[in-house]
Structure 1
Amino acid sequence: MVEPERISSNINNIILVGFMAAGKSSIGKKLARRLGWKYIDTDAEIVEVTGLKIPTIFKKYGEVRFRSEEKLVVKKLREVTSAVIATGGGTVEDPDNWSVLEELGIIIHLFVPLEEAFKRIGKRSERPLLTRSEQEIYDLWQSRLKIYNKASIFLDTTNKDLDDIVNEIIEHLKGGSVDNVSKN
């Protein structure tokens, strides 16, 4: 069995934020495995609690209901320690959610340029966000960037292998220096 990586002991949780297709879920799972921590995906928690897939919630009940469920899931995270938490792209738009996430641990912004996000998504059209016009998506990306950039750490995921990104995060959290990871 591989020994879990050790990071700074004053980090209770690691919260991953960023736009859709930034790699939050994929990176979060790998990072949690490497640290020997729990992995929590807020979108998956919403699905578990409601028994409905996210596109179904949006279609049947609308974004307001989804955001309400999301807020409840985020509040429950206060009970969690030693977890890597992948958030939905819009979770951070609610100031109360952002406050809870800041309390929980270190927030890492996984940056993805919008064009790259579209490439990664490809034909996966089940994402509710993709029902909007390109201009609306661009405007949303711009407005969310302002919030994401309040994170403690910024990491550009463009043209990087998932393992390399995880290694960069771990190295940074150990106190090492990484070229394209910056502390905000």
Structure 2
Amino acid sequence: MAQLMDRPATFMEVPTHLLEAKADFTGIVRYQDDSIASEILSTWSLFFSQGRFVFASHSLDPLERLDRHLRRLSHQSFSLTREVCLRIRQQAELLLIQDSGPMAADFQVLGWIAEEQLVSVEAIRKLSDWMSEEVLQNLLLSPSSGLKRQMIRLGALPALGQWEVGSLRSHNPA
């Protein structure tokens, strides 16, 4: 298991009821917003391993989110060249068009980056944190009354930088 790291401020604002998972739960908690008046369903997928929050994904614009945070990371990681970013983008596009069941393409591409050792483990954790933070900010803006929750149990998830769900503080707006 990865060592606990300081989380961005957004993680402290997420209501714990959205990030609750039993200690033995490994899988995906999916929130779907059916209240949006459009043909596109908005879906958030929160990944857990043994009750520990791992990653957050959103169904809208996953490739753009990945590209944005890869560019941000490229300013900090010299191994993340333009060619490497293009290779990651191509892999993400392949994963997006494949039927991978409940696994989100952006989550899978993080695992692929780790397998290929394209950047350091610390860089993958930063990328995971930044992408998750953006998705969670989006989830915070959605009215929780319109969200349908679905739990999908899985055997295992790759460890990308996990932190204890219990360490998150509930945000109660005044």
* TM-score clears 0.5: no
- TM-score tier, shorter chain, comes to 0.3 to 0.5
TM-score for the superposition, normalised by structure 2: 0.33
TM-score (normalised: structure 1) = 0.32
Q: Say which structure, 1 or 2, has more relative contact order (CA 8 Å, 6+ apart).
A: 2
- The structure with the greater share of residues assigned to helix is 1
